[in-house]
Amino acid sequence: MISLLLRLIINAVGLWLAVELVDGIDFTDPEGTTDTTGRIIALLVLAVIFTIVNALVKPLVKLLSLPLVILTLGLFLLVVNALMLLLTAWLSQFTDYGLTISGFWAALWGAVIIAIVNFVLGLVVPDRD
């Protein structure tokens, strides 16, 4: 349970850095305020959506794109990560916490940032395995 909460926080930090560093990525909180608490809650809700997408959809997409992953020596996984971020943005439209991404390249750079944050902070918070 604690590991899941730490992973959600890591995803929220990755999303926050992607929003801050990539021009085409932004999110809104339902009140539209800029207070810190509202932004943290919005990031945590988006991190939950992102985690669910990565847990349910990403393994299937990785399996179906295995020939492309092998052909590109794993670089196609960056495209898969960008597509998962775009799917998260689309799903977040149905909530009050909207993640907006202006295009594929913004999603690609955001996915790279999130992957780096997950890798670095994942070293600090190891899996149960």
pTM value? 0.87
Element (H, E) at 101: strand 99-101
Find the length of the chain. Answer: 129
Average pLDDT over residues 68-83: 94
pLDDT tier for residue 129 given thresholds of 50, 70 and 90: low
